Amino acid sequence: MAAYSETIDLYSDDGKLLKSGVSLDKISPLVNPATSKIIDLTKRTINVNLGGIEQALKAGKLGKGKVRGRELDLAIMENKDAIVAKIKEMVQVEEGDDTEILEFNDGKLLLVQVPTKRLANAATYDAAITSVASAATYAIVDQFDIDAFNASTVKAACWGGYPHTMDMQGALVSSILNIPQNNEGIGYALRNIPVNHYVMMTGRNSLQGVALAATLETAGEFEMGAAIGPFERYQLLAYAYQGLNANNMVYDLVKNNGETGTVGTVVQSLVERAIEDKVIVPGKKGGYFQYFDTKDPMLWNAYVAAGSLAATIVNCGAGRFAQAVSSTLLYFNDLIEHETGLPSCDFGRVMGTAVGFSFFSHSIYGGGGPGIFNGNHVVTRHANGVAIPCVVAACALDAGTQMFAPEGTSKVMGETYGKIDVFNKPMDQIAKGVDLIA
């Protein structure tokens, strides 16, 4: 990749300086060790709801349904230590490799980190969830000497409806990632993560949630081939200013407009900041209208990405409702174009995304709240990594207005992945990662 001389300062979610003079390449998902760890653990870490498996078997709840007469009353939690040991023994490749099993909620929830070798020697990240689901199934079958007629019931609790369904519908072994068949195109895997997952993994902290979402969205853009040549700088700048609060821009914009501001005053503040930083300069005049020019459209885009996030936080934060995120993304960027004559965020793609997003999240269609969308969804996939982080911020600030609340759809993500530092405090970890780069 290219070496960059331009630098940014990284700030925390509370506006404190974390690291100054960071060259742009050091936040790249290809370079930063903390970012690499996030991507690595996203692929090879699997949830096992051991307590849930016990309850599901007892009630005969398998996949998405209930099968009467196939109930199994097994003392799984009483035998938890033996089952965990069996899972680890089967999942690991070599004694002492990087297989790890973390326990939460008195062992009712397990987080299994599959050894790197399993994924390195597989075509896809499927190798993580398939090995853990099989190991969990066999560990229970072996521990309780389940016969051939009831083993399939244990399998259904762990694997869900698969293979009768394409994915592991209703499975109590799960991953952050969706199955490859559900990815909309080449390289979309890391973008196919629901907004509510990010919200719960970062404990409803809006800027930390934004950082985590932006990190995986940006990694997805790299995987899609959207960050090659000059477009690499384009992606990194947007990631830095919106996702990592570079130069404290998002924090400053929110602070200056949080008490009495509106979407329109955030537009004003952003344009003033861009003029002050000489990112844009007055150009020609057309009657009463003052056009602006820029010699660095990529940096201008990063400023507008930061502004889009700040406007979302100000507007959705004021109402404590996530629903306004789509209209905020639309009209902030519409106002930016009318104010400057320059392109809006992602050269109009955020506006386009927002139009469809408004319709599908709560207009006459109203299929679901913002929290169940992701960067792979046909409605929200079009913006290059800069729309979903704003949706995460809005849902983190929501006070319970969504039909599909994060606590309802993604509670287990907070109780497991949310206990790991790179997932719950990505801004801090990425800043620390800069020091580890040779």
pLDDT at site 363: 59
**pLDDT, mean of residues 115-124:** 97
Are both 415 and 300 inside the same structural domain?
yes
Q: Which residue type does 195 have?
A: V
CA–CA gap between residue 206 and residue 200 (Å, rounded): 10
Are both 124 and 248 inside the same structural domain?
no
pLDDT at site 274: 98
Last residue of a domain, one of 182, 205, 229: 182
- Enclosing domain of residue 354: 7-31+190-436
pLDDT at 397 over 60: yes
Task: Summarize pLDDT for 166-192 with one digit per residue, the tens.
Answer: 999 999 999 999 999 999 899 999 999
In percent, the amount of the chain with pLDDT more than 90 equals: 92
Are both 285 and 418 inside the same structural domain?
yes
Range with lowest mean pLDDT among 139-153, 301-315, 349-363: 349-363
pLDDT at 426 over 60: yes
The CATH number assigned to the domain holding 13 equals 1.20.840.10
Task: Summarize pLDDT for 312-332 with one digit per residue, the tens.
Answer: 999 999 999 999 999 999 999
Instruction: For residue 303, give the H/E element and its range.
Output: helix 297-319
pLDDT at 367 over 70: no
Are both 27 and 99 inside the same structural domain?
no
Q: Is the CB of residue 50 less than 8 Å from the CB of residue 415?
A: no
pLDDT at site 120: 96
319 lies in some domain: yes
pLDDT at site 359: 82
Please state whether the peptide bond connecting residue 163 to the residue before it is cis, i.e. omega within 30 degrees of 0.
Answer: yes
**pLDDT, mean of residues 123-129:** 97
Last residue of a domain, one of 155, 182, 209: 182
Are both 364 and 415 inside the same structural domain?
yes
What DSSP character marks residue 150?
T
Are both 108 and 246 inside the same structural domain?
no
Are both 96 and 219 inside the same structural domain?
no
Are both 171 and 207 inside the same structural domain?
no
Q: Is the CB of residue 169 less than 8 Å from the CB of residue 212?
A: no
The CATH number assigned to the domain holding 65 equals 3.30.70.470
40 lies in some domain: no
pLDDT at site 106: 95
11 lies in some domain: yes
1 lies in some domain: no
Are both 177 and 203 inside the same structural domain?
no
CA angle 218, 399, 391 (to 5 degrees): 20
- Single out the residue of 126, 133, 152 nearest to residue 72, CA to CA: 152
- The helix/strand/coil state of 94 is coil
CA–CA gap between residue 36 and residue 198 (Å, rounded): 17
Task: Summarize pLDDT for 252-292 with one digit per residue, the tens.
Answer: 999 999 999 999 999 999 999 999 999 999 999 988 899 99
**pLDDT, mean of residues 198-224:** 98
CA–CA gap between residue 405 and residue 401 (Å, rounded): 8
- Single out the residue of 16, 88, 105 nearest to residue 46, CA to CA: 88
pLDDT at site 403: 86
**Which one has a higher pLDDT value, 1 or 50?**
50
264 lies in some domain: yes
**pLDDT, mean of residues 33-58:** 97
292 lies in some domain: yes
pLDDT at 2 over 90: no
Known catalytic residues are 365
Dump strand ranges (E) for 43-124: 45-49, 61-62, 65-66, 100-104, 109-113
CA dihedral 19, 388, 193, 52 (to 10 degrees): 90
pLDDT at 366 over 60: no
**pLDDT, mean of residues 118-142:** 97
pLDDT at site 365: 63
Last residue of a domain, one of 146, 161, 182: 182
CA–CA gap between residue 122 and residue 243 (Å, rounded): 31
CA distances from 408 to 53, 182, 371, 378, 403 (A): 18, 22, 11, 23, 9
Residue tagged 């979903």 (tokens): 388
pLDDT at site 360: 79
**pLDDT, mean of residues 301-307:** 98
Provide the domain count of the chain. 2
Are both 178 and 195 inside the same structural domain?
no
Q: Label residue 364 by pLDDT band (50, 70, 90).
A: low
Are both 69 and 101 inside the same structural domain?
yes
Range with lowest mean pLDDT among 105-119, 208-222, 352-366, 384-398: 352-366
**pLDDT, mean of residues 135-146:** 98
22 lies in some domain: yes
36 lies in some domain: no
Are both 290 and 409 inside the same structural domain?
yes
Which tokens hold the place of 4? 């960059």
Phi, psi (rounded to 5 degrees) for 23 = -70, 150
